[in-house]
């Protein structure tokens, strides 16, 4: 029994160590290590509970004898300390997001958020979400699923709409683009914590599918995202959304596609058959995205990203068509009229280097006239916000503050424009009245 206790304690300690220091270079173990690191880091309190329960059972069975039992107790103590650190580290997401927003928007940005939006900003994560993060649901939210929006590549692409059961009218819209290396993933398995929270607070959220590689070749994926924006322009009002205010978001490959869509508005190359549709968005929030297919600053050391892009996504060698890889890179599409951005990336991401995000933000800030916020989330792995956790809660609260600020600015601008139009329209009428009176 002492040997079993030692083996269990060693396994738990290795999971904790992997969450603290996941391998970044050795690609043979990078995938399994990522999953173990991701689940341990985001569910540290759950791991701590189960390790404590298992330890209690071993102690009750008398397994803490001999050097094996004593060593097991030492490993358990180290593992618990690491898990406690992981949990405390996850709580640093809140001040990190707040600091990023203050830097980009100003120290008093919260005072510029409209009162009806600000009323729900500080709603905490529920006890059920903390204890049982899955399934992700909120009784205040309803979903209209599998709505056809685009015919492409011999298939019908579909989207889901999440909205409040109160069914508001003229609500701001979020478009969520799933990740999965452009090859896997579904519209209903990512972005749910953010969409559920926003929908409960009055937003209309749209989660769209797109064609996947290897069958699809870039820019098929981006064309489908643009088609989803077209559907929003034409149909989201039927679900209570405002087609004139759209924020786009996504993680990983979805972060790449959302950033690229935001930076290529109305580009006919990516809108075949609907070139005349306005595909501008009013804000962008990419999570841990891939922003450069050219690896211009050599951040992809020993990564399999380039071979995957060449063989599966782009289906051409970068050396043979460097321009195609450049045009597919959000870094190469930065522009002065880019919408406001909030870029989010984890400091412990082992799949997409955070240096890519830093470079993207640097290049975008150099030219954009709108705010560019950047949050480096301490200890966060790739895909950290896929399900509710302490870190996820703080991150999506920060996202909500950012996009509510953007929406408040949009409202103010629209109100000023309406008042100006009203004054302009009424001026001839006043002049006519004066003429008749004279």
User: Residue 92: which pLDDT band, with cuts at 50, 70 and 90?
Assistant: very high
Tell me: pLDDT of 26 over 80.
no
Give me the pLDDT at residue 329, please. 97
| Long-range CB contact pairs, 314-323, < 8 A, 24+ | 314/217, 314/218, 315/214, 315/217, 318/293, 318/294, 322/294
- Residue 71 in contact with residue 12, Cβ under 8 Å? no
- Here the tokens at position 392 are 């996820």
**Does the pLDDT value for residue 303 go beyond 80?**
no
Average pLDDT over residues 81-104: 97
Q: Which of these ranges, 4-8, 114-118, 255-259, 357-361, has the smallest mean pLDDT?
A: 4-8
Q: How far apart are CA 421 and CA 438, in angstroms?
A: 27
Percent residues over pLDDT 90 in the chain? 81
Higher-scoring residue by pLDDT: 338, 29 = 338
Q: Is the peptide bond before 90 cis (omega within 30 degrees of 0)?
A: no
Whether pLDDT at 436 is above 60: no
Q: Tell me the pLDDT band of 126, cut-offs 50, 70 and 90.
A: confident
Of 2, 213, 252, 332, catalytic: 252
Is the domain defined by 115-418 classed in CATH 3.40.50.920?
no
Which is it for strands 241-251 and 341-346: parallel, antiparallel or unpaired?
A: unpaired
Is the pLDDT reported for residue 433 higher than 70? no
pLDDT tens sequence across 131-159: 888 889 999 999 999 999 999 988 999 99
Task: Please pick, among 47, 299, 382, 410, the residue that the annotation labels catalytic.
Answer: 382
CA 270 to each of CA 126, 243, 273, 356, 430: distance values in angstroms, whole numbers, following the listed order: 41, 20, 9, 24, 48
Res 434 pLDDT > 60: no
Mean pLDDT of 101-110: 98
Pair of tokens at residue 74:
């030492």
**Which pLDDT score, from 0 to 100, does residue 258 have?**
98
Q: Over the chain, what is the mean pLDDT?
A: 93
In the numeric block, the tokens 């896929």 are attached to 386
CA 83, CA 68: separation in Å to the nearest integer?
22
Find the mean pLDDT for residues 21-44. Answer: 83
Q: What is the pLDDT of residue 298?
A: 85
pLDDT of residue 429 exceeding 60, the answer is: no
Say if residue 432's pLDDT is above 70. no
Helices (H) and strands (E) in the chain, counts: 14, 8
What is the pLDDT confidence band of residue 430, given thresholds at 50, 70 and 90? low
Q: Give catalytic status of residue 382 as yes or no.
A: yes
User: For residue 103, what are the CA distances in angstroms to 50, 95, 99, 297?
Assistant: 40, 12, 6, 26
The tens digit of pLDDT for each residue in 54-76 reads 999 999 988 888 888 899 999 99
pLDDT for the residue 150? 96
Task: Look at residue 223 in the predicted model and tell me its pLDDT.
Answer: 98
pLDDT category at 88 given cuts 50, 70, 90 is very high
Residues 181-207 have pLDDT tens digits of 999 999 999 999 999 999 999 999 999
Q: Could you count the other beta carbons within 10 Å of the beta carbon of residue 49?
A: 13
pLDDT digits (tens, 9 = 90+) for 249-264: 999 999 999 999 999 9
Q: Give the confidence band of 305 by pLDDT, cuts at 50, 70, 90.
A: confident
Q: Where are the beta strands (DSSP E) in 94-251?
A: 141-152, 155-164, 171-177, 204-208, 241-251
Name which residue leads in pLDDT, 27 or 282: 282
Residue 299: the pLDDT is 83
Per the annotation, the verdict on 349 as an active-site residue is yes
Least confident piece of the model among 26-30, 47-51, 159-163, 420-424? 26-30
Average pLDDT, stretch 410-437? 74
Count, residues in the chain: 438
- The one catalytic residue in 349, 356, 368, 394 is 349
Helix, strand, coil distribution of the chain in percent, nearest 5: 50, 15, 35
Over residues 270-274, mean pLDDT? 96
The pLDDT assigned to 347 comes to: 96
| Res 91 pLDDT > 70 | yes
Q: What's the average model confidence in pLDDT over 384-402?
A: 96
Mean pLDDT to the nearest integer, 39-57: 94
The share of the chain scoring above pLDDT 70, in percent, equals 96
């Amino acid at each position: 029994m002492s040997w079993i206790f030692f083996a269990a304690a060693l396994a738990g300690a290795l999971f904790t160590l992997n969450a603290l220091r996941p391998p970044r270079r050795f690609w043979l173990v990078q995938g399994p290590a990522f999953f173990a690191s991701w689940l341990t880091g985001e569910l540290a309190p759950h791991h701590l509970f189960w390790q404590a329960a298992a330890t209690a059972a071993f102690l009750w069975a008398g397994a803490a004898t001999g050097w094996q039992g004593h060593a097991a107790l030492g490993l358990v103590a180290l593992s618990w300390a690491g898990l406690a650190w992981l949990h405390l580290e996850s709580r640093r997401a809140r001040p990190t997001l707040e600091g990023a927003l203050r830097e980009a928007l100003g120290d008093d940005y919260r005072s510029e958020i409209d009162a009806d939006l600000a009323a729900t900003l500080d709603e905490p994560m529920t006890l059920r979400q903390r204890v049982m993060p899955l399934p992700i649901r909120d009784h205040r939210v309803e979903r209209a699923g599998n709505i056809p929006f685009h015919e492409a590549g011999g298939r019908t692409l579909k989207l889901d709409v999440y909205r409040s059961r109160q069914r508001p009218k003229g609500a701001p819209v979020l478009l969520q683009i799933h990740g999965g290396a452009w090859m896997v993933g579904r519209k209903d398995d990512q972005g749910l914590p953010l969409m559920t929270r926003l929908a409960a607070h009055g937003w209309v959220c749209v989660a769209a599918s797109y064609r996947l590689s290897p069958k699809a070749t870039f820019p098929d994926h981006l064309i489908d995202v643009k088609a989803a924006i077209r559907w929003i322009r034409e149909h989201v009002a039927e679900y209570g959304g405002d087609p004139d205010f759209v924020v786009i978001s996504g993680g990983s490959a979805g972060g790449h596609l959302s950033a690229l869509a935001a930076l290529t508005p109305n580009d006919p190359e990516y809108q075949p058959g609907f070139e005349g549709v306005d595909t501008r968005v009013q804000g962008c929030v990419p999570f841990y995205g891939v922003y450069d297919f050219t690896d211009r600053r050599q951040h992809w050391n020993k990564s399999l990203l380039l071979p995957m892009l060449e063989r599966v996504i782009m289906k051409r060698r970068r050396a043979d068509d460097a321009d195609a890889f450049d045009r597919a890179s959000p870094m190469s599409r930065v522009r002065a009229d880019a919408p406001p951005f909030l870029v989010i990336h984890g400091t412990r991401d082992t799949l997409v280097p955070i240096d890519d995000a830093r470079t993207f933000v640097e290049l975008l800030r150099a030219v954009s006239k709108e705010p560019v916020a950047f949050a480096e989330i301490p200890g966060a792995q790739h895909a950290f916000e896929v399900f509710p956790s302490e870190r996820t809660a703080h991150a999506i609260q920060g996202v909500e503050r950012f996009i509510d600020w953007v929406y408040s600015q949009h409202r103010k601008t629209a109100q000023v424009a309406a008042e100006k139009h009203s004054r302009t329209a009424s001026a001839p009428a006043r002049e006519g009245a004066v003429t008749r009176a004279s």
